[in-house]
Amino acid sequence: MKSWWTSEKPLMIERAEKDDLPDLAKLHAECFKQNWGTAELTTMFEQKGVFILIARTSRVTGQANLGFVVIRSVAGEAEVLTIAVSPKQQNRGIGRKLMEAAIFQLYSDRAEALFLEVDDTNSAALKLYKKLGFKQVGERKAYYATSEGSGTALVMRCDLL
Ligand SMILES: CC(=O)SCCNC(=O)CCNC(=O)[C@H](O)C(C)(C)COP(=O)(O)OP(=O)(O)OC[C@H]1O[C@@H](n2cnc3c(N)ncnc32)[C@H](O)[C@@H]1OP(=O)(O)O
């Protein structure tokens, strides 16, 4: 009989290393039309205050990157630069796990607030952010030039302290 441990393929949340970035670029392209390539992710990865968390299955059970979040934290204020979960893995709690891990990290770093911008028609992302306690603090019309939605970005904030 298989144990729950091997049959469940537990999800790990880990800090990205530089050699993860080409695979994350592929994942980003699956999720966004205006996607970030390896070069853009590398530039971001090397910026001060930026960290990337990856959700993946363990090396023992066959490692696969299922999603990732890119955070920039400067002088007590942090921002979600992007979050992407592989389309086949969406709506299974992975985005929430990534956001929670990022928030725990920021909280222990004493960051005061986490901000993000999201298309106002992105219902899955909005549902996730609202559940985590994000509140709308602004709106940027015609922000996403190539958006399939209204193109309006909502600016959201979550207090961490
Ligand atoms: C700051 C930014 O980057 S904004 C852009 C966000 N990224 C994208 O839009 C890229 C494409 N989308 C994705 O990668 C993912 O759908 C994400 C990151 C938005 C969410 O990640 P997921 O792993 O799918 O979210 P997760 O499963 O944790 O669900 C969180 C909540 O959203 C809801 N949700 C997730 N997907 C959907 C969906 N397709 N339709 C409706 N609700 C959804 C879930 O039901 C859940 O709410 P619940 O707890 O009431 O059930």
Q: Give the CATH number of the domain where residue 97 resides.
A: 3.40.630.30
Cβ-based burial of 151 (10 A; exposed 0-12, middle 13-18, buried ≥19): middle
Q: Considering only CA atoms, which residue is closest to atom 4 of ligand 1?
A: 118
Residue 121 and residue 103 in one domain = no
- Please give the Cα distance from 49 to 26 (Å, whole number): 24
Boundary (domain end) residue, out of 110, 131, 152: 110
What pTM, to 2 d.p., does this model score?
0.93
pLDDT at 63: 80
Ligand 1: centre distance to CA 18 (Å): 26
Residue 136 and residue 106 in one domain = no
pLDDT at 149: 65
CA 118 to chain centre: 12
Residue 61 and residue 7 in one domain = yes
Which residue in 28, 35, 27, 99 sits closest to 64, CA to CA?
27
Checking DSSP bridges between strand 50-57 and strand 113-119, what pairing results, if any? unpaired
- Please give the Cα distance from 108 to 160 (Å, whole number): 10
Angle at 9 between CA 3 and CA 13, to 5 degrees: 135
Annotated catalytic residue within 117, 143, 144, 148: 117
Checking DSSP bridges between strand 65-74 and strand 50-57, what pairing results, if any? antiparallel
Task: State yes or no: is 112 an active-site residue.
Answer: no
**What number does the ligand 1 atom closest to the CA of 127 have?**
32
Task: State yes or no: is 107 an active-site residue.
Answer: no
Residue 40 and residue 23 in one domain = yes
pLDDT at 16: 97
Residue 118 and residue 100 in one domain = no
- Please give the Cα distance from 16 to 5 (Å, whole number): 24
Q: Considering only CA atoms, which residue is closest to atom 28 of ligand 1?
A: 93
Containing structural domain, residue 43: 1-110
Residue 142 CB partners (closer than 8 Å, separation 6+)? 151, 152
Consecutive 10-residue runs of the chain (161 residues): their mean pLDDT?
A: 62 96 98 95 97 88 90 97 97 97 97 97 97 97 69 95 88
Mutate which of 72, 122, 128 to test ligand 1's pocket (most atoms within 8 Å of Cβ)?
Answer: 128
Take residue 71 and report the two structure tokens written for it: 């955070």
Domain total for the chain? 2
CA 76 to chain centre: 19
pLDDT at 142: 76
Mutate which of 79, 90, 132 to test ligand 1's pocket (most atoms within 8 Å of Cβ)?
Answer: 90
